[in-house]
Amino acid sequence: MQTQPQASHFIDGEYVEDTGGTPIDVIYPATGAVIARVHSATPAIVERAVASAQAAQAAWAAMSGTERGRILRRAADMIRDRNHDLSVLETWDTGKPYQETSVADATSGADALEYFGGMAATLTGQHIQLGEDWVYTRREPLGVCVGIGAWNYPTQIACWKGAPALACGNTMIFKPSETTPLCALKVAEILVEAGLPKGVYNVVQGLGDVGAALVGHADVDKVSLTGSVPTGRKVYAAAAAGMKHVTMELGGKSPLVIFDDADVDNAVSGAILGNFYSSGQVCSNGTRVFVQKGIKEAFLTRLTERLKGARMGDPMDPDTSFGPMVSQRQMDIVLGYIAKGQDEGARLVTGGNQVGQEGFWVEPTVFADVTDDMVIAQEEIFGPVMAVLDFDTEEEVMTRANATEFGLAAGVYTRDLARAHRVAAGFEAGTCFINSYNDAPVEAPFGGVKQSGVGRENSSAAIEHYSQVKSVYVRMGDTEAPF
C-alpha cells in the first residue's frame, strides 16, 4: 500500500505542498521504519488554510442542514466502503493491530459523520412568547474552527471534531498529531469526493508551533484540542486571549472499582479493555484498578491467565491483538514508569519488559500492591501498565478514587445495582461505566471534568460546543421611551 501521501496538506479542496516546512518522518511503530515524510506547515500554509476556511464558511452555512448532512452521510458511507484500506493506513500510522483498527477507527469516524449528518437538518432555534411580543432564537455557527489531534486515534479524532463542526455550518482546519499525520488527509479527501465544497475541511501538518499559530490566529473562532493536560493549559490560555470557544479533551488517570460481588471474568475483561486496548494508549483508560480485598487474588490469577492470550506480532495479521507503542519516545516514557513502579516497591505481577529489537514494543504489565502515593498511581502513563490497588469499603474507595486532579472516566463492577448507581453518581468523572469499560458510542456525550477537560464531544451535547444562540426580540406594538 502507498503510505506516502500525495502532499503534506489539504487546503481548499486539494493537496498542497510546501517543502520549505520542517520535514516530519512518519515511522511505522511496529518496525521503526520510515514509511512517509510530510512537511510542517510554513506560515504561508497556515495563512492559506485559514483564508480558505474563512472564505468557504458563509456559503457552507447558507446551505440547508439537509444538504450539509447529505454530504456528511455520503462521506460516512464511503468510509465504510473503504474500511479495509483506511484501517490498514491507520495501522501504518499508529501501529495499532488491524484487528482493532478494522472495527474501531474508520468505523467510529463514519458513525460520527452519519450521526451529525442526520442531525444537521434538525438544528433549530426556539420561539419564546412574551404576551404579544416574542423572541426567537437562531442557532448559528461559530465560524472557523481549529481541531488539533492526539496520535492515538487519528481518523476518529479528525471525524469526531469535523462532523459536528460541519453539521453546524462551521468550517474546519484540522492539525493532526505530528506522530500520525496520514489518516486525516484521507478524511479530507473523502469529504471532498462526497461533495464537500472546497475550503470547508482543511488539513495542515505540523508540531506544536503550527497548532499555536492556528490557535492564535485572529480569524479563528473556536479550538477543539485532544491532547495532554499541559498542552491543554497552553491552548486554553491562548484561546482565552482571543476570547475563543474551546473544547478540551485531555488526559486522565481513571479509576476502575471492582467490588467482591462482581463477576470475576467480566471484571477482568473490563480491566483488559481499560488498560491494554490500543496498547494502553487511550485517554479514558481505567489505570487505577481498585479491587476489594475479598476478590483480589481471584482477580489477579484470572487476569494473569487471560493476559497469556495477548498476541503480539505483525499488526497487519488479523490474529495479532496487541501492538507496539506509537513511538520510541512513548516507549521510553512507559519503560521509565515501569522502572519507577519497581523502585517504589509495587509488586510486578506480569510483563514489565521491552520486546524485540525492532519497533517500540512493551509487554502488557500489571503491578499489584500499588498504593495511592506511588507515581504509577498518580500520573498518566499512556501505555500498557495497570496498577492494582486494594480496598476494604465503598466509602474508602470513593474518597481514594476521586483523589486525583483528573476526571475523565471511571468504572465500577458489582452485581449490586443500587451500589452501582450510587458509585457512578459519586465519581468525579465525565464518562462512567457500570459493568463495562471504554465504550464510546457517538450517541453518548464524551469528555472530562476537573483537569481532564472542558466541553463534550459526540451526542447532541457536541452541538452546544460548535454553535451559538442569537436571540431576536420582536415587538408587535409601539416602542415606548421615557422621553
- Kindly give the pairing relationship between strand 409-413 and strand 347-350: unpaired
249 is catalytic: yes
What is the footprint of ligand NAD within residues 269-328 (CB under 6 A)?
283
Residue with Cβ nearer ligand NAD (54 or 205):
205
Number of residues near ligand NAD (by CB under 6 A): 29
Q: How far is the CB of 214 from ligand NAD (least distance, A)?
A: 7
363 is catalytic: no
Q: How far apart are CA 23 and CA 181, in angstroms?
A: 12
The closest residue (CB) to ligand NAD is: 211
Residue 381 binds ligand NAD (CB under 6 A):
no
Q: How far is the CB of 35 from ligand NAD (least distance, A)?
A: 19
What is the footprint of ligand NAD within residues 162-181 (CB under 6 A)?
175, 177-178
The closest of 457, 450, 408 to 431, measured between CA atoms, is 408
Q: How far is the CB of 161 from ligand NAD (least distance, A)?
A: 10
Contact stretch for ligand NAD (CB under 6 A) within 133-141, 243-251, 349-357, 458-466: 243-251
Residue 149 binds ligand NAD (CB under 6 A):
yes
Residue 234 binds ligand NAD (CB under 6 A):
yes
* 258 in a labelled binding site: no
Of 90, 363, 394, 457, the active-site residue reads: 457
Residue with Cβ nearer ligand NAD (107 or 179):
179
Q: How far is the CB of 256 from ligand NAD (least distance, A)?
A: 16
Residue 251 binds ligand NAD (CB under 6 A):
yes
Residue 380 binds ligand NAD (CB under 6 A):
yes
394 is catalytic: no
Q: How far apart are CA 339 and CA 361, in angstroms?
A: 16
Contact stretch for ligand NAD (CB under 6 A) within 40-48, 184-192, 195-203, 228-236: 228-236
- Kindly give the pairing relationship between strand 23-27 and strand 34-39: antiparallel
Q: How far is the CB of 451 from ligand NAD (least distance, A)?
A: 11
Backbone angles phi, psi at 409, to 5 degrees: -140, 170
Residue with Cβ nearer ligand NAD (105 or 394):
105
340 is catalytic: no
Of 100, 249, 363, 394, the active-site residue reads: 249
Residue with Cβ nearer ligand NAD (227 or 384):
227
Residue 376 binds ligand NAD (CB under 6 A):
no
Q: Which residues have a catalytic role annotated?
A: 161, 249, 283, 457
Residues that bind ligand NAD (CB under 6 A): 148-152, 175, 177-178, 207-208, 211-212, 215, 226-228, 231, 234-235, 249-252, 283, 380, 382, 408, 448, 453
| Binding region for K(+) | 27, 93, 450, 453
| Binding region for NAD(+) | 149-151, 175-178, 251, 283, 380
